[in-house]
Amino acid sequence: MVSGLVTDPHPVLNDLVPSVVTIVHRRYRKYVDRADLSQEAYAWLMTRVSYFNALLGDEDDTKRLINQKRIAFQMRRALERYARKEKATRSGYQTNDESFYDVTTIAQLLPYVIASVVNETAIEQAQNLVNDGTPRKPAAPAEGGNLLATLIDIKKSYELLDEDEKNILRLRYHENYTLQQLSEATECAISTADRRCSNALRKILNFMGGESPYQ
């Protein structure tokens, strides 16, 4: 806990630090000490403390809770950047050598993964996609190996989902169900069906290492 400074952090901020540190340390415990993460968290926090205190002082309970979640998210990203840098240093590579997946790419490649078509045909078809789904020129042959690795990674992560999650993704991305059809098939509201799909995609992303902390 930090106190006695010109501007003391809001009590909520002091409560956030150990919980966020625990989350990040769980993933990077081989590379960073918990104490170092805590120190980094407070150092990051105190450069923004006046702004964060103002956010947490909002009289609207809903806005205050939203702001709290945003601060926790930003803190986690900051600690992940620090932890990844430490990991890279200890492992002998640069952080700019890292690569990250995203939900859009996973959604585009899921039809091939679910159909278990992780082969040359899948690579050729997948290479003809860009993020907006429009055709482009086939990728260079060297990219094929990377794409195959991506397909395999997605497949492994997809298999870790529970059956309900796999089923809703299969209907959406393999059977090409609309959200309306999906809501009817799963007997839930359209918004619920959409949220379940999004959550399942994000779960795959987390299995694959999560989003880039540098965004």
DSSP assignment of 28-93 equals HTTTS-HHHHHHHHHHHHHTSHHHHHHHHT-S-HHHHHHHHHHHHHHHHHHHHHHHHHHHHHHHT-
pLDDT of residue 93: 73
Which of residues 59, 74, 97 is at a domain's end? 97
pLDDT of residue 131: 40
Burial class (CB in 10 A: 0-12, 13-18, 19+), 166: middle
In angstroms, rounded to a whole number, what is the distance separating the alpha carbons of residues 213 and 76? 8
* Same-domain pairing of 90 and 131: no
In angstroms, rounded to a whole number, what is the distance separating the alpha carbons of residues 190 and 172? 12
pLDDT greater than 80 at residue 146? no
The whole-number average pLDDT for the span 83-98 is 80
More confident of the two residues 98 and 45:
45
Inter-CA distances, 54 with 22, 41, 64, 71, 104, Å: 25, 19, 10, 12, 35
* Same-domain pairing of 50 and 24: yes
* Same-domain pairing of 112 and 61: no
pLDDT of residue 135: 33
| Percentage of residues in the chain having pLDDT higher than 70 | 80
More confident of the two residues 209 and 67:
67
In angstroms, rounded to a whole number, what is the distance separating the alpha carbons of residues 16 and 108? 36
In a domain, 215, yes or no: no
pLDDT of residue 136: 35
* Same-domain pairing of 112 and 178: yes
Q: What pLDDT band is residue 169 in, cutting at 50, 70 and 90?
A: very high
Mean pLDDT, the chain, rounded, equals 82
Alpha helices (H) in 115-178, listed in sequence order: 120-127, 141-159, 163-169
pLDDT of residue 39: 95
Find the domain containing 197 and state its range. 103-207
pLDDT greater than 80 at residue 99? no
Per the structure, how many domains does the chain have? 2
